[in-house]
Amino acid sequence: MISVKLVDGVLAVSELGQRLRETREQKQISLEDLQRTTKIQKRYLKAIEEGRFETLPGLFYARAFVKTYAEAVGIDHEQLFDEFKHELPNPQKEIEDLPSRSERSNRTKGPLPADRSKATSMFPMLIGLAFLIVVAVGIWLVVQRDSDENAVPPEEDTAPVEAEVGELDELPEETNDLRKEEDEAEAPVEEVEEAPIEEEHFNLAFVETQGNTSYYELSGTDRFDVVIRFNGTSYVGVTTADGESHFADNAEEGDELVYDFSGQEGAEFNFGASQFVDFVINGDPFEFALDIPHQKVNITVVNETEE
């Protein structure tokens, strides 16, 4: 069977795919066996044999997939690349066609809230108002000081104040009440110790690894915050347990994805080049269980109920 694909409405033969498939069949290697050996999904191996490189996770990885396939069936990949370079996609062209970093950043960042935008526009006016208040208070203090210096002190009454002991004992009740209030005000105030703030604890437990997928369970918290930073080019796919895809594209060095999946039952993260990824869960750095570039991380949220 000759591998063909539709190009501009015309069926075109994929000689590269035909060479790979014939070599695999001669060595009696099934697609299932090749999937276990290369860690590449069967549908992607079949797409390579049929020359459908556009169906791969990204054309950037097409050459890497073909190289892995060729080595698995015993073909020299460098000779294969040289012979079929007209069929292999150009990863450099794909990188040039990628949206700019600012455009991708705008996808992950929503518009500023209206309240925040309004507060930002009022900030300069508040600063100007505060400056006018400070100037007015300064002028008032200067005028008040000059007024106190020019004021004539009142004449002191030098007449001795005489009071009998009996008169002092017969002070009005209002005066005694005032003294009592002053004594109570001077009493030391007992300091109230503040209760310590409890730090949030959570548990991200490793369950198992199947193929290139590692499974984890997140428990002990309702929080599920995710931050993904990139120090190199990598494909990444982000899908929550409800089947919604939040991202499926290449990311470049310096890009950052931030998600709040609180309330979700879980999420799966597909990394094409995990060596270029810094993965953070609820503020804690995540350590990948597998030492391979292409791997997936599946996290299930476990809700603990009190008995």
In the chain, domain spans: 4-97, 203-301
- How many degrees, rounded to 5, is the angle at CA 281 between CA 278 and CA 287? 50
The answer to whether 4 and 14 have CB atoms below 8 angstroms apart is: yes
The pTM of the full predicted model, rounded to 2 decimals, is: 0.38
* CATH of the domain spanning 4-97: 1.10.260.40
Q: What's residue 27's pLDDT? A: 94
- The average pLDDT across 101-128 equals 59
Q: What's residue 61's pLDDT? A: 77
pLDDT of 177-235, one tens digit each? 656 666 665 655 566 566 555 556 789 999 999 999 999 998 989 899 998 999 999 99
